Amino acid sequence: MRFTLKMIPLLFILTSYALSCTNILVSKGASSNRSVMITYSCDGEFHPHLKITPAADHPAGDSLEFRDGQGRLLGKIPQPPHTYKVVGLMNEFQLVIGETTFSGRKELQNPKGLLHYWALMKLALQRAKTAREAITVITGLVEKYGYRSTGETFSIADPNEAWIMEIIGPGPGGTGAEWVALRLPEGYISCHANKARISTFPLDDPDHCLYSANVKSFAIQKKYYDPQSGEPFRFNEAYCPDTPRNRRYSDARVWSIFRRAAPSRHFSPAYQRGDTTAGPYPLWIEPDHKLSTSDVFALMRDHYEGTPFDMSKGVDAGPFGSPNRWRPISWKVDSVEYAWERPISTQQTGFSFVSQSRAHLPNEVGGVLWYGLDDTYTTCYIPFYCGIDQLPEGLSKGSLQNFSWESPWWIFNLVANYANLKYSYMIQDIQTVQSKIEGDFFALQPAVEETAVRLAKTDPQMAQLYLSDYSVSHANLVFKRWKELARFLITKYNDGYVQDTPGRPTEKGYPQTWLKRVIKERPNQFKLKENTKRAPESKLVD
């Protein structure tokens, strides 16, 4: 049997969000619930489908084919005797992978390489049990079959370890890839956002650092690094040079995660704002306190609130403080280039997740993919255990071309988009529902998992059925509740009115701060003037 993967249609979708993702990594020692956690916001204008890839046995000679959009064979990869089950981007052994694209030196993209980053993630999840094994699978495949993408940063986690890995191609006609991977120290967190983050790294610590044999010599050969400079070799400076644009676009998100996770450190925004005298942010930090799963949810919900860059403030936020800015992110006025802030939460998000991998629980219970649709700020995270064998039918339905009430993604998208009409009002209604549902999930989690662990000891199939039923039924309840929320918002906020009680529209008008800006721009247009002189009466008879 040969399985075929058509690359071109897939890559057309991936290209739309390849430069627009955010990841957080949390070591077990930095977690309040003994979880290794990673996050992934997969940002872009696309309609996601969540899928389960079942475990499978493959006969000798079985292969995975890669074809382009016209059906032309690009290459084949032999299948191993057995591949593992994958739920979204987590496999049955709690191994989970996320990514952000940093592009880097685009001349290093190899168009003849067979494997793009997305295929590597899927293949690693099907073939590896641990994060370290996943790195071996990825690097072994690109060495043999070639790496086709631009620069990429992977977050890779299992129940015990979290790794950050960065990889870039050799350029046209080259082989393999240049890469480095570092294990996150216990008690620390890290993050990345479309810019290479690994700087210097140890050459003699294989327990915590792995790298390609030519990672340094290749940079010297390409004149990306001068060993006579007296400076140490830094992967990110060699393969993803620092620019004012990527500081604003990428380092700003890193800064915001760190300043919220460790406010005692008083991380300065100077570097991300382009101050050439300011040093870059560290690769990892100790948070001020151990992070719960809900803390990590919160870190993924950010528009720089409470900082000088707060996107809910200013004339650009409109009268009701919408933090969303419509693309393009950069623009010109009178030949001067400007750029909106690039936040962690963005309306362009297709899906996101926060994962939990836990060594103290059986795999089928310990691995949870908290999955959210659309914008991280307005989504509701739903737990899908890696032991399940079913998903809600709606998560495989829908397309970007047609709105559908049968597609949960479209329902979340509708709620998020409608909120822009009166954001400061509606976001409170959305967050009330969001916090209630997520709070209920957290409250139920210990009892659900205790039951599942007990079942797993005596009847693994019953444990799988129990977790599948829990994840699917509760996901469907969330989707139903979000439909109700959409109808509620459309009814309550109609034609500029706000219904304080059903059927009684109230005029709320605009905030005084915004009205003052209107008057400042056009001081006379809207002013009502009292008549000071009596107009002469008209003569009815001449």
One DSSP character per residue, 406-469 reads T-HHHHHHHHHHHGGGSHHHHHHHHHHHHHHHHHHHHHHHHHHHHHHHHHHHH-HHHHHHHHHH
Which is more confident, 73 or 502? 73
Instruction: Name the band, by pLDDT with cuts 50, 70 and 90, for residue 540.
Output: low
Q: For position 529, what pLDDT does the model report?
A: 80
What percent of the chain clears pLDDT 70, i.e. is strictly above it?
94
Q: For position 531, what pLDDT does the model report?
A: 65
Q: For position 166, what pLDDT does the model report?
A: 98
Place of tokens 């992977």: 154
- The token duo for 274 is 């382009």
Q: For position 1, what pLDDT does the model report?
A: 45
Tell me the C-alpha to C-alpha distance, in Å, between residue 532 and each of 36, 201, 203, 529, 538. 75, 79, 86, 9, 18
Q: Looking at residue 321, what DSSP letter applies?
A: T
CA 451 to chain centre: 31
Torsion sign (Cα): 500, 504, 509, 512: negative
Q: Is the pLDDT of residue 405 over 70?
A: yes
Q: Is the pLDDT of residue 27 over 60?
A: yes
User: Can you give the three-state secondary structure of 507-538, one letter per residue?
Assistant: CCCCCHHHHHHHHHHCCCCCCCCCCCCCCCCC
Q: For position 18, what pLDDT does the model report?
A: 45
Cα–Cα distance, 344 to 237 (Å, whole number):
24
- The token duo for 366 is 């310990």
Contact 128, 136 (CB under 8 A): yes
Q: Is the pLDDT of residue 276 over 60?
A: yes
Tens-digit pLDDT profile for residues 319-365: 999 999 999 999 999 999 999 999 999 999 999 999 999 999 999 99
Cα–Cα distance, 402 to 382 (Å, whole number):
24
Q: Is the pLDDT of residue 13 over 70?
A: no
pTM beyond cutoff 0.85: yes
**Mean pLDDT for the stretch of residues 49-71:** 94
Tens-digit pLDDT profile for residues 410-420: 999 999 999 99
Q: What is the mean pLDDT of the chain?
A: 94
CB neighbours of 288 closer than 8 A, spacing ≥ 6? 261, 262, 263, 264
Cα–Cα distance, 29 to 45 (Å, whole number):
36
Report cis status (omega within 30 of 0) of the bond before 446: no
Burial call 506-531: b when 16+ CB within 10 Å, e when fewer: eeeeeeeeeeeeeeeeeeeeeeeeee
Instruction: Name the band, by pLDDT with cuts 50, 70 and 90, for residue 68.
Output: confident
| DSSP one-letter string for 68-112 | -TT--EEEEEEPPSEE--EETTEETTS-EEEEEEEE--GGG--TT
Tens-digit pLDDT profile for residues 364-403: 999 999 999 999 999 999 999 999 999 999 999 999 999 9
Question: Angle 212-218-222 (CA atoms, 0-180°, nearest 5)?
Answer: 155
Instruction: Name the band, by pLDDT with cuts 50, 70 and 90, for residue 103.
Output: very high
Which is more confident, 96 or 16? 96
Domain ranges of the chain: 2-302+343-352, 388-394+404-501
Cα–Cα distance, 217 to 226 (Å, whole number):
10
Q: Is the pLDDT of residue 234 over 50?
A: yes
Instruction: Name the band, by pLDDT with cuts 50, 70 and 90, for residue 5.
Output: low
Q: For position 233, what pLDDT does the model report?
A: 98
Contact 77, 1 (CB under 8 A): no
Q: Is the pLDDT of residue 8 over 50?
A: no
Tens-digit pLDDT profile for residues 417-441: 999 999 999 999 999 999 999 999 9
Q: What residues pair up with 152 in beta bridges, in sequence order?
A: 101, 167
Place of tokens 């719960």: 292
Report the chain's C-alpha Rg in angstroms: 26
Q: Is the pLDDT of residue 524 over 80?
A: yes
Tell me the C-alpha to C-alpha distance, in Å, between residue 368 and each of 356, 451, 471. 5, 15, 10
- The token duo for 310 is 């707060």
Question: Angle 374-377-379 (CA atoms, 0-180°, nearest 5)?
Answer: 45
Q: Is the pLDDT of residue 130 over 60?
A: yes
**Mean pLDDT for the stretch of residues 200-212:** 98
Dihedral, CA of residue 71, residue 84, residue 479 and residue 16, to nearest 10: -40
Tens-digit pLDDT profile for residues 148-169: 999 999 999 999 999 999 999 9
Q: For position 186, what pLDDT does the model report?
A: 98
Extract the runs of DSSP E, i.e. beta strands, from 299-436: 330-333, 336-339, 349-356, 368-373, 382-385
Place of tokens 């002469």: 536
- Type and span of the H or E element at 504: strand 504-506
What are φ and ψ of residue 52, in 5° steps?
-110, 125
- Type and span of the H or E element at 181: strand 178-183
Q: Is the pLDDT of residue 249 over 70?
A: yes
